[in-house]
């Protein structure tokens, strides 16, 4: 079941470079922000993970009103949206010994852009600033405020997992867009390049550029690269200025998710944190599964482009819960095969 969303845009406040550098060093104290991504430890396997459960996403249904129907067909749990203000559902969970997972624990509009924000990352051919840039400390502050409020409201019940949000992305889904050239994101990118190339001469040789220092470096958009990569010979095509930027943005996305996972664990160390609505792997959106598998503790992916097998291969040696979205086809044989 693929849920179609709507989105919105907002202005980005340009903060100075000094604030950005201080924030990077403080926020990612446990993560190598410019090199390899430190694997977030998995949550010790819990008894509930040894079995299969169907957790009902409460759309057009209410566990409080329909619990007798849940029991009648053997459903295993439900979901709480966000959490703050839904303490009655937590109390219900404890009273009936009925588990749940929390969706949109980081609210919506930050990791998953919504409303008019979608327009700023759709149909753009050049470098683009992401609304709620993930390199902006104000974005992370707001996300953590939501996590703090929602996890504290739901951790006392029989919670199985926290999902930051649904169908998250650097842009929107995996639609092509060269985000993020927010000033703070560029500072981070240049530091990442310093770590990778060590000297500006080394970068210039790879990129075929003549930058005097890393502080001058600007990435190239796909369209800029494409204009010079249309005719033979292939040996004269240089994709490095674009590919390095895409690799860095995948790293930025995973680094932020890693930080949010660790923050969630600080609020509730017994429950895994991750996200739902995972997209197919590719150059856009942040879906490098090798990085994502190190940044979160569980996921529900849409099984597009072999993501189920990819994720399973990265998590083959440790126990991490897997969730799949299921919607009945009304064909019992097909449904039982899927399940």
Q: What is the pLDDT of residue 298?
A: 95
Q: What is the pLDDT of residue 33?
A: 66
Strands 7-8 and 114-115: antiparallel
Q: What is the pLDDT of residue 6?
A: 36
Tell me the per-residue pLDDT of 13-54, one tens digit each, with 9 for 90 and over.
333 334 344 444 444 444 566 667 889 999 988 888 888 888
Confidence of residue 331 (pLDDT cuts 50, 70, 90): very high
Tell me the per-residue pLDDT of 251-301, one tens digit each, with 9 for 90 and over.
999 999 999 999 999 999 999 999 999 999 989 999 999 999 999 999 999
Q: What is the mean pLDDT of the chain?
A: 89
Number of residues that make up the chain = 339
pLDDT reading at 155 higher than 50: yes
Give residues with Cβ within 8 angstroms of 101, minimum separation 6. Answer: 55, 77, 79, 80, 159, 160, 161, 162, 163, 323
Q: What angle do CA 180, 114, 281 make, to 5 degrees?
A: 55
Domain ranges of the chain: 9-338
Tell me the per-residue pLDDT of 49-64, one tens digit each, with 9 for 90 and over.
888 888 998 888 899 9
Q: Give the closest residue to 296 by CA, choosing from 104, 161, 180, 109.
A: 161
Whole-structure pTM value: 0.88
If one compares 143 and 327, the residue with the highest pLDDT of the two is 143
Mean pLDDT, to the nearest integer, of 83-88? 96
Q: In what order do the strands lie in the sheet with 159-166?
A: 55-56, 77-81, 100-103, 159-166, 273-278, 298-301, 322-323
Q: How many helices and strands in the chain, by DSSP H and E?
A: 11, 11
Q: What percent of the chain has pLDDT above 90?
A: 71
Cβ density class 68-106: b for 16+ within 10 Å, e for less: eebeeeebbbbbbbbbeebeebbebbeeeebbbbbbbbb
Q: Give the closest residue to 207 by CA, choosing from 218, 192, 215, 195.
A: 218
Q: What is the pLDDT of residue 323?
A: 85
What dotted CATH number matches 9-338? 3.20.20
């Amino acid at each position: 079941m693929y849920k179609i969303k709507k989105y919105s845009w907002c202005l980005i406040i340009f903060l100075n470079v000094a604030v950005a550098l201080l924030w990077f060093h403080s926020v990612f104290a446990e993560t190598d922000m410019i090199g390899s991504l430190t694997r977030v430890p998995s949550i010790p396997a819990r008894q509930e993970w040894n079995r299969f459960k169907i957790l009902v996403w409460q759309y057009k249904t209410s566990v409080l009103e329909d619990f007798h129907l849940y029991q009648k067909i053997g459903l295993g749990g439900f979901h709480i949206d966000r959490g703050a203000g839904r303490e009655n559902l937590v109390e219900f969970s404890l009273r009936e010994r009925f588990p749940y997972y929390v969706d949109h624990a980081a609210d919506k509009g930050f990791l998953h852009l919504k409303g008019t924000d979608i327009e700023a990352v759709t149909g753009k051919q050049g470098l683009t600033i992401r609304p709620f840039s993930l390199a902006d400390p104000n974005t992370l502050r707001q996300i953590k405020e939501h996590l703090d409020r929602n996890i504290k409201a739901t951790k006392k019940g029989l919670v199985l997992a926290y999902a930051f949000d649904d169908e998250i992305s650097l842009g929107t889904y995996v639609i092509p867009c060269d985000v993020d050239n927010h000033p703070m994101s560029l500072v981070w990118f240049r530091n990442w390049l310093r770590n990778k190339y060590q000297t500006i001469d080394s970068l210039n040789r790879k990129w075929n550029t003549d930058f005097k220092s890393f502080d001058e470096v600007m990435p190239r958009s796909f369209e800029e690269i494409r204009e010079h990569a249309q005719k033979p010979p292939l040996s004269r095509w240089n994709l490095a200025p674009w590919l390095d930027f895409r690799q860095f943005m995948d790293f930025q996305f995973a680094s932020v998710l890693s930080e949010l996972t660790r923050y969630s664990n600080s609020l509730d160390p017994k429950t895994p944190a991750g996200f739902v609505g995972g997209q197919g792997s590719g150059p856009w959106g942040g879906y490098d599964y090798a990085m994502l598998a190190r940044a979160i503790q569980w996921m529900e992916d849409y099984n597009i482009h072999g993501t189920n097998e990819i994720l399973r291969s990265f998590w083959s040696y440790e126990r991490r819960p897997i969730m799949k979205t299921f919607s009945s086809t009304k064909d019992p044989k097909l449904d039982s095969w899927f399940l």
